[in-house]
Amino acid sequence: MTLTVLLTGGAGYIGSHTFVALRAAGYDAVILDDFSNARQDVPDRLEVITGAPVRVHRGDVRDAGLLARIFAEHRIGAVVHFAALKAAGESVRRPLDYIDVNVTGLVALLKAMRAAGCGRLVFSSSATVYGTPEVLPVPETAPRGYANPYGFTKLACEQILEQVAAADPGLAVAVLRYFNPVGAHASALIGEDPQDFPNNLVPYIAEVALGRRPALNVFGGDWPTRDGTGVRDYIHVEDLARGHVLSLTRLLETGEGHTVNLGTGRGYSVLEMLAAYSRAVGRELPHVIAPRRPGDVAEVVADPSRAAALLGFRAEKGVDEMCASSWAFVSRRANR
């Protein structure tokens, strides 16, 4: 029988791409999303991509009654938990909201899973749990820390999962630490679509390319990196989605949890990403060097070897594909 996977936050950026990848791999999937950072038309677009009806429950992951109804209605064999707030800067101003949604949300989900006898969970974590990495590329064994309330919640969730799993032999958890996801599905129907101000690099560059912002503000030109700008490990969201499928499959096959980085192992600077996006758009996009952003670090790059050894996961798509697919999605949406 086909296994049904519940995707909390399944209409969001990473969730929607993972929905497509899970369906393509033969899993059934149900979405729970409150659409606070997802467009209403994402389920329709997922139906176009997958050619099948998409089942969506609208609501909050903290809603115990709703979770109980979802588990009663579907035979959920596993959960991928994306639903969370994720803007590091905003989290400094709204720490309680981040703790409530991210930590309380996880606790509510774990209780509902236990009540329903569902013991397989893939959790969306982040390279943010490494704080300021001392060793690069950063392995999963690196010390953990946090630099803002968002990072605190992701670390707290990892620790909660460790405690709960240690006490419950029926629970196996995969923790996936994402580096910097960018790009969009090849159909250009789904992609990164921030509801408000674009905080991340590629969505901001996209706004410059659309003519909505005059220039990219490069946060610091004096970092100790090859060109003075911040270096990150950008991973194509379709590669990231595939990583979830491999992780879930291993979790189901072995019944054992794992913690892995999902990155490429290659770093690109802000100016290198701007150049790649300029190639995708076909003209040079303007930038200005601005002051450093508080809380930023010079360089974060994944050691991807554990994901390769454990899951057979290797990122395949490079920055030109990331930028071209982002631009295809963004320009298509703007022209509608």
Give the C-alpha distances (Å, rounded to integers) separating 263 from 17, 72, 123.
Answer: 16, 36, 16
Q: Does 236 bind ligand UFG (CB under 6 A)?
A: no
Stretch that binds ligand UFG, among 18-26, 49-57, 196-204, 251-259 (CB under 6 A): 196-204
Residue from 293, 316, 320, 334 that binds ligand UFG (CB under 6 A)?
293
Burial label for 1, CB within 10 Å (0-12, 13-18, 19+), is exposed
Nearer to ligand UFG, 78 or 239 (CB): 239
Q: Does 225 bind ligand UFG (CB under 6 A)?
A: no
Nearer to ligand UFG, 8 or 148 (CB): 148
Q: How far is the CB of 128 from ligand UFG (least distance, A)?
A: 3
Stretch that binds ligand UFG, among 55-63, 216-224, 303-311, 326-334 (CB under 6 A): 216-224
Catalytically annotated residue among 146, 150, 234, 268? 150
Residue from 199, 213, 305, 306 that binds ligand UFG (CB under 6 A)?
199
Which residues between 92 and 151 bind ligand UFG (CB under 6 A)? 126-128
Q: Does 326 bind ligand UFG (CB under 6 A)?
A: no
Stretch that binds ligand UFG, among 54-62, 75-83, 293-301, 314-322 (CB under 6 A): 293-301
What is the DSSP-derived secondary structure letter of residue 3? P
Q: Do the beta carbons of residue 168 and residue 114 sit within 8 Å?
A: yes
Among candidate residues 187, 61, 139, 147, the one with its CA nearest the CA of residue 309: 139
Q: Does 175 bind ligand UFG (CB under 6 A)?
A: no
CA 287 to chain centre: 27
Give the C-alpha distances (Å, rounded to integers) separating 197 from 15, 90, 213.
Answer: 20, 11, 11
What's the number of CA atoms in the CB half-sphere (13 Å) around residue 95? Answer: 6
C-alpha 132/C-alpha 177 separation (Å) is: 15
> For the chain, where are the alpha helices, taking DSSP H only?
13-24, 42-50, 64-73, 88-93, 95-98, 105-116, 149-167, 201-209, 237-254, 270-281, 305-311, 319-334
Query: How many CB atoms neighbour CB 197 within 10 A?
Result: 11
Q: Any catalytic annotation for residue 150?
A: yes
Q: How far is the CB of 195 from ligand UFG (least distance, A)?
A: 15
Q: Does 208 bind ligand UFG (CB under 6 A)?
A: no
Q: Does 270 bind ligand UFG (CB under 6 A)?
A: yes
Active site residues: 150
For ligand UFG, the binding residues (CB under 6 A) are 86, 88, 126-128, 180, 199-201, 204, 216-219, 230, 232, 270, 293, 296, 300
